[in-house]
Amino acid sequence: MTETTSPAGLGGTPTGELPGAGQRLFVRRSSGLVREVSISNALFFNTAAFVGGGVGWVPVFYALAFVPVGLAGLSTYGWASVIVGGFCVLLAIIFASLVSVMPRSGGDYVFTTRLLPRIGPFVGWVESFTLVVASLSIVAFEVPIFLRNLQITGRIIGIGTGAGFFERANHWFASGGVITGGWGFLGALIMLAIVLVIVVQPTRRFHRIVSTLAVLGLVCVVLMFVFGLLLTSGSDVAANLPKYGGATVAELVKASHTNGTFGSGVSFAPLVFSFMLAVVLLNFIGFQYSAYIAGEVRGNISRSLLIAVLGALVVAVLMNSVYADVLARHWGFNAQVGWGAMYWSSDPHLPLGQPNSMPLVAAIATPGAWPLWAVVSLGVTLFPLLLCPVYLMFCSRIMLAWSLDRQVPEWLGRVDEKRHQPMNALYVALAICVLFALFQNFALLPHSIAPPDGKLNLVSTLWFSILMAFLTWFMPGINGLLARFTRRDLMANAPYKRILPYIAVVWLAFAGVLYYFAGFKPIVDALSSAKESTLNYFNRTGITFTIGAVVLAVLIFVVMRLRARQQGIDTAMMFREVPPD
């Protein structure tokens, strides 16, 4: 794609003069991406992006918010999934409308920088920078889940065969029974090496791999549901749990009471329910990520994106509500909640030393069917593995959009002609994941910043990701609200443009209530409490890292803006135009 500007226009490379105009011709390089992603590819891309460890771990996530979890038809978590899913339909419509007039890779970064007057480039940069950091921290969250799923698969085989090697699976990639230290880091490197092999493939092959593995994973999800109901029962779990898990159902229920997760009925009070909504929203993040590779999707981009996003959203809602709730009730709901609470609270009496992954619970109920549960467990393990290359892929597209806009050095977004991939961006994203793995496995951070032992832990990483994703959830609503008024030229033919501001207001109200009660109010309450110092609270909850990431984003923006000014680049004109295809 070529653009003509004055010499101060876009800081391109001069190639000649326009006849009679006294202006020089500047060339702004194209993105280098190729449109070779189908609707089905985009659908499975979104599915792989949100599922992660959740497909076998939903009952574990019931207890993560440490609020009472009860039943009223669906569970508290199930109702949160349905409500979040309903509001996310509005988010899907916003993305479909905006991407139809800006069909470029980079997602909401592109929208924010083009739709917000004056401050758009800065806000879009901070929004996307925090999203990238949050996403790579989620990759760090999924790495130990992948390794733990391998342990769980080993324990399932051990339950069925009694083989000592598999009965000792808790020691795989672990030091002292915990996935940490040198063995944990080795496991992380092995997993990230597999991720690297997948992510460096040419775009079409990459999506073929992701789609194929996602289908295999979903087949195992169906097998888990059907045979979990047909071959197991709650009475079998209760009878066999003492033998294989060293605990009783009554002890699991007691743990639920102790950790504050036992509930009777479902409370929708915002002060409590918002925490569950926040956990679900984080588990859903990724269902919309095909918008971030829009520059590579074939066909009618608005229709393709809407199908891919809504299709993934349906899977997300069903998987986190009906699918999980039916199986959890089948095995004893309160015991499942208590087991999850024991895992998140690092209870030393955790059954088998593992979370209540669905295939593991099924193996306890019917050990004779262990080959089936082992296969299902391996299928479940595919999703945390798949999430990682998908996240690296979409993060690299954001970095590409940054480089096209001179927000970062251009080498970061340089696209390989054979692979149609910004390889430098992929390598940088992977290197950051390795850095996170180092911090997770070795005590390299001050204990005051990363309590209690100087390592990043799963729970603090998760809440850090929720805080970092704040702008990711808010800015699409702001963009949808303002688009018709700030860029009438772009929005003239956009679908849903008449109702877009109303949809955006509803979405912003939902996100605002959620983040107020689950994010900002707890911070304010903690700061006014004398239970612990402000610094300790910030360090424990990941707020310190969030502030640090935002400060780093601001510093990079300032440096790159000064660099662009020295090069004579008219950034105001650049952000008036849609990025090159």
The three state secondary structure string of 192-224 is HHHHHHHHCCCHHHHHHHHHHHHHHHHHHHHHH
| H/E stretch holding 149 | helix 120-161
Residue 198 domain-assigned (yes or no): yes
The token pair at 557 is 């923006």
Residue 392 domain-assigned (yes or no): yes
Distance CA 164, CA 158 (A): 7
Closest CA to 441 of 189, 161, 132, 117: 189
Distance CA 373, CA 143 (A): 22
pLDDT (0 to 100) of residue 31: 63
Mean local confidence (pLDDT), 16-27:
39
pLDDT (0 to 100) of residue 572: 77
pLDDT (0 to 100) of residue 59: 93
Q: Helix 108-115 crosses helix 470-486 at what angle (to 10 degrees)?
A: 40
Report whether pLDDT(561) > 50: yes
Residue 461 domain-assigned (yes or no): yes
Mean local confidence (pLDDT), 13-27:
38
pLDDT (0 to 100) of residue 460: 64
The token pair at 88 is 């996310």
For the CA atoms of 28, 34, 39, 40, the dihedral, rounded to the nearest 10 degrees, stands at -140
Higher local confidence (pLDDT), 545 or 423 = 423
Report whether pLDDT(339) > 80: yes
pLDDT (0 to 100) of residue 150: 95
Query: What contacts 339, CB < 8 A, 6 or more positions away?
Result: 59, 60, 252, 255, 350, 351, 355, 356
Phi then psi for residue 25, to 5 deg, are -90, 125
Under 8 Å between Cβ of 62 and 261: yes
Residue 250 domain-assigned (yes or no): yes
What is the pTM (predicted TM-score) of this model? 0.89
Beta strands at 13-17 and 74-75: parallel, antiparallel or unpaired: unpaired
Arithmetic mean of pLDDT over the chain: 88
pLDDT (0 to 100) of residue 283: 86
pLDDT (0 to 100) of residue 7: 33
Asked which of 1-5, 326-330, 490-494 is least confident by mean pLDDT, the reply is 1-5
Q: Which of 276-280, 283-287, 332-336, 537-541 holds the top average pLDDT?
A: 332-336
Residue 304 burial (10 A CB sphere; 0-12, 13-18, 19+): buried
Residue type, 373: W
Q: How confident is the model at residue 449 (pLDDT cuts 50, 70, 90)?
A: confident
Helix boundaries (H) for 17-74: 39-51, 54-61
Q: Which domain holds residue 172?
A: 31-61+128-264+309-474+530-574
Report whether pLDDT(18) > 50: no
Residue 272 domain-assigned (yes or no): no
**Residue indicated by tokens 């605990």:** 247
pLDDT (0 to 100) of residue 89: 95
Report whether pLDDT(361) > 60: yes
Residue 401 domain-assigned (yes or no): yes
Closest CA to 318 of 81, 65, 61: 81
Distance CA 62, CA 81 (A): 11
pLDDT (0 to 100) of residue 29: 56
Domains held by the chain: number:
1
Mean local confidence (pLDDT), 105-109:
90
Bond preceding residue 452 cis, omega within 30 of 0 = yes
Distance CA 421, CA 401 (A): 13
Query: What contacts 403, CB < 8 A, 6 or more positions away?
Result: 409, 410, 411, 412, 413, 414, 422, 425
Report whether pLDDT(291) > 90: no
Under 8 Å between Cβ of 27 and 13: yes
Angle ∠(53,56,60) on CA atoms, nearest 5: 85
Say whether 366 sits in a helix, a strand or coil. Answer: coil
Say whether 515 sits in a helix, a strand or coil. Answer: helix
Q: How confident is the model at residue 23 (pLDDT cuts 50, 70, 90)?
A: very low
Beta strands at 71-72 and 74-75: parallel, antiparallel or unpaired: antiparallel
Residue 466 domain-assigned (yes or no): yes
Residue 517 domain-assigned (yes or no): no
Under 8 Å between Cβ of 16 and 566: no
**Residue indicated by tokens 């066909």:** 299
pLDDT (0 to 100) of residue 13: 37
**Residue indicated by tokens 């739709």:** 115
Under 8 Å between Cβ of 394 and 110: no
Say whether 424 sits in a helix, a strand or coil. Answer: helix
